[in-house]
Amino acid sequence: MSEPLRRGQPDVRVGSTTDALTPVSVAERSLRAGPVQWVGLLAIVLAVVAADQLTKHIVTSHLALGDGIHVLGPFWIHHVQNSGIAFGLFASATAVVIVLTGIAIAWMLLFFMRSGARHPVLPVALGLVIGGSGSNLLDRVRLGYVTDFIDLRYWPAFNLADSFIVIGVAILLGTLLAADRVPSSRGRRDAPARS
């Protein structure tokens, strides 16, 4: 008898015993992030931080606080400051926001360390979320606020970091939903036809 699998490890069976249930041997694959996943994550994080900080610098050096430029339709570039989080929530609790953001980033890095090889999309999706969160955290620590400038008139102003966070979360959710659908459709395809 082989040693029982620990929770979360894949059960890859090579041959079987007479009961067709007990594996003869088990292949284990580590889900921990390797050097390739870490390099991918770091590249995405650095690109996100650079793009966000560059656009904020351009806006703050060309527009006075409160000024705006109409670009097209409802799209404006409008220089505003936000000491809170999304929609200006917790504007008077910057220290709490800094601590919570730091904890969230640390948790995402720990998750990535333990599961980074689970899916090829993880370095990209978590890189977007960590990079966006980190860039806004950098501003809150240095300045006490973040610069927002993308204004659609019917939505509170936001910045590139916020956009990257939303895109990263959307990629994660889309991947989870797609992965959840694959086994059920495969199971139906492999089921024997009844006559």
pLDDT of 158 over the 90 cut: yes
Instruction: Answer yes or no: are the C-beta atoms of 161 and 135 closer than 8 Å.
Output: yes
Stretch among 53-57, 71-75, 97-101, 115-119 having the lowest mean pLDDT: 115-119
What are the CA-CA distances from residue 70 to residues 73, 103, 148, 150 (Å)?
Answer: 8, 37, 15, 11
**CA 128/CA 144 separation, integer angstroms:** 22
**CA 151/CA 155 separation, integer angstroms:** 7
pLDDT tens per residue, range 3-14: 555 665 665 555
Domain boundaries in the chain? 1-29, 35-180
Q: List, by residue number, the catalytic residues.
A: 148, 162
pLDDT of 138 over the 60 cut: yes
| Closest residue by Cα to residue 55 from 142, 180, 159 | 159
Q: What is the mean pLDDT of residues 62-87?
A: 90
* CB-neighbour burial class of residue 95 (10 A; exposed 0-12, middle 13-18, buried 19+): exposed
Categorize the per-residue pLDDT at 17 as very low, low, confident or very high, splitting at 50, 70 and 90.
Answer: low
Categorize the per-residue pLDDT at 119 as very low, low, confident or very high, splitting at 50, 70 and 90.
Answer: confident
Higher pLDDT, 154 or 56: 56
**CA 121/CA 71 separation, integer angstroms:** 33
pLDDT of 70 over the 90 cut: yes
Q: What is the mean pLDDT of residues 39-59?
A: 97
Average pLDDT, the chain: 83
The pLDDT value recorded for residue 117 is: 81
Q: Quote the pTM value.
A: 0.75
Categorize the per-residue pLDDT at 31 as very low, low, confident or very high, splitting at 50, 70 and 90.
Answer: confident
